[in-house]
Amino acid sequence: MAMRTLLQRRWDSVVITASVLATLATLFGTAARPALAAQGGFERTLKVTGPVELSVTTGSGRIEVSKGGASTVIVRGSIHASSGWGLSAEERVRQIESNPPIEQDGNVIRVGRFRDRGLEHNVSIAFEVVVPAETRLHAETGSGEEVIRGLRGPVDAGTGSGNLTVSNIGDDVKAETGSGDIRLSSIQGRAHVGTGSGSIRGSELTGGLWAETGSGTIEVHGVRGGLRAATGSGRITAEGAPGSEWKLNAGSGNIDVRLPAHTGFDLYAKADSGRVSVDRPISMQGTLGRNEVHGKADGGGPLVDVRSGSGNIHIE
C-alpha cells in the first residue's frame, strides 16, 4: 500500500508539472508568435499629360478601373497578407504600404508588378484605379472579378476565375475568364469575349461581337455589324441588325434570333435534332424542312448561319 501511494504521488507530480509547462508554453508562445494574417492599404496619385497606357495585374484580387479627371491617375490598393517565406504578415503589409508596386514612365503606368519577387508570395491585393477617359488598358488577375467602365480604350481584360463587367468603352474590347460570367454594355468597337464556364450577356454592341462559352447562355441585344456566338451547352438569344455575317452555334440548346422588320439577309438554319421556325417571308433556295431552312429574306443580304445540335431554332 505504501509503495502504491508513493508511486501515485510521483505520477500526480509529473501530471501537474506537464500541465504547468503546457500552459506556460501556450501563453508565451502566443505572445511571441506573429499574426498569421494582416491587412492594410495604400493610395497614390500620379500626374499625367495626355492619353494613358495602363497595365494592372494581381495574383488574386479584384480590379476596378473607372473614369476620373484628365490629368491624374489615382491608385488604391487593399492588401491581405499571410505569413511565410521568412516574413510575418505585418512585415509584408508594411513593406508594400511604404513601397507599393506602382511604376510610372511618363504616361505609361504599370500597377501590380513587384520588383522584389519574394514579397508577393502569400499576398493578395485588390486594386481600384481612377484614370482619364483617354486610357488604353490591360488588366489581369489570377482569381478575382474585374469591373471596367468609361474608357476610350481599347481594353484587354482577363481573369482565371471571376466575373468581368465592361461598359461604356469607345474602342475594341477583349475579355476572357476561365470560369465566370461576362457582362458587356455600350461597346463602340469590336468585342471578343470568352468564358470556360459562365454566361455572356451584352447590349449596345455597335462594333460587332465574337462570343464563346463552354457551358453557359449567350444573350445579346443591340448588335450592329458581325456576330459570332458559340456555346457548348446553353441557349443563344441574339437581337440586332446584321451589318455583316452572323454565325450562331449551340451544341445543345435553343437559339432565338430577332432581326428588325424588312431587314434583308441570307438564311441558313439547321437543327440536327430539333425544329426550325421562321416568322417572316423567305424566298427558298432549295431547302425547306422541319429541321432545315435555306433561303433569302427581303431580297437577301449578309449571311445569318444558325445551327443547333439538339435544340430548336426560331427566327423572327
Q: What is the reported pLDDT for 10?
A: 45
Cα torsion 288, 292, 297, 301 to 10°: value is: -130
Say what the pTM is: 0.85
Cell 449567350 sits on residue:
218
Looking at residues 237-245, what average pLDDT do you find? 96
Of 26-35, 36-45, 84-93, 140-149, the range with the lowest mean pLDDT is 26-35
| pLDDT, tens digit, 9 for 90 and up, residues 188-220 | 999 999 999 999 999 999 999 999 999 999 999
pLDDT band, very low/low/confident/very high, at 32 (cuts 50, 70, 90): very low
Amino acid at site 22: A
Of 81-90, 125-134, 140-149, 184-193, the range with the lowest mean pLDDT is 81-90
Cα torsion 133, 136, 138, 139 to 10°: value is: 0
Looking at residues 252-260, what average pLDDT do you find? 96
Rounded Cα distance between 273 and 309, Å, is 6
Which DSSP state fits 194?
A: E
Higher-scoring residue by pLDDT: 205, 82: 205
Is 122 exposed, middle or buried (CB count within 10 Å of its CB: 0-12, 13-18, 19+)? middle
Pair 142, 123: CB distance under 8 Å: no
Rounded Cα distance between 236 and 219, Å, is 6
| pLDDT, tens digit, 9 for 90 and up, residues 44-74 | 999 999 999 999 999 989 999 999 999 999 9
Bridge-based pairing of strands 292-297 and 72-82 is: unpaired
pLDDT band, very low/low/confident/very high, at 16 (cuts 50, 70, 90): very low
Q: Tell whether the model's pLDDT for residue 19 goes beyond 70.
A: no
Alpha-helix runs per DSSP H in the chain:
2-32, 89-98
Pair 157, 137: CB distance under 8 Å: yes
% residues pLDDT > 70 (the chain): 86
Q: What is the reported pLDDT for 287?
A: 59
Within its chain, how far is the Cα of 303 from the centroid? Answer: 31
| pLDDT, tens digit, 9 for 90 and up, residues 260-294 | 998 999 999 999 999 999 998 888 776 567 789 99
Query: Which residue in 120, 111, 122, 127 sits closest to 77, CA to CA?
Result: 127
Q: Is 237 left (phi over 0), alpha (psi -120 to 50) or beta?
A: beta
Q: What is the reported pLDDT for 281?
A: 87
Within its chain, how far is the Cα of 161 from the centroid? Answer: 7
